[in-house]
Amino acid sequence: MIINFLYKFTLTIGIVFLLLSAYLNISKMVSGDSISSYQNVLTLPKGHHAEIYDEEIAKIDNLNDLKKLVDYEIKENNFEGIDIPIYIDEIVRKNIFGN
């Protein structure tokens, strides 16, 4: 008896939630609102810059040229600690993003 009640109760709740979600989805489609239409959504966090294509970096096609460029830039800019792998990551992103 109690199992029959729980079955009917669960089935009823499930159907109510299914109909509610279908109604809300259909009403959202009809209204024309969508997440992509919001104007206040930022694509990049403040303070971060988009990756840029650099032709000089894109011309690097072997490991020795990459090592020379990294060594030169590290000495030129006095990079230390975590700044070194961040700079290398930036170089690789510029090279891959442009190709």
- pLDDT tens digit sequence for 13-45: 999 999 999 998 888 877 766 555 545 544 544
Structure tokens belonging to residue 24: 């809300």
Range list of H helices, the chain: 2-31, 55-58, 63-77, 83-98
> Looking at the structure, do residues 27 and 54 belong to the same domain, yes or no?
no
> Looking at the structure, do residues 55 and 93 belong to the same domain, yes or no?
yes
Nearest 5°: phi and psi at 49?
A: -110, 150
End-to-end CA distance of the chain: 68
Residue 38 in any domain: the answer is: no
Residues 6+ apart with CB under 8 A from 55: 98
Q: Which domain holds residue 72?
A: 49-99
> Looking at the structure, do residues 55 and 98 belong to the same domain, yes or no?
yes
pLDDT tier at 51, thresholds 50, 70, 90: low
Residue 6 in any domain: the answer is: yes
> Looking at the structure, do residues 54 and 11 belong to the same domain, yes or no?
no
Instruction: Confirm if 57 and 91 have CB atoms less than 8 A apart.
Output: yes
Residue 19 in any domain: the answer is: yes
How much of the chain, in percent, has pLDDT values that exceed 70? Answer: 71
> Looking at the structure, do residues 19 and 59 belong to the same domain, yes or no?
no
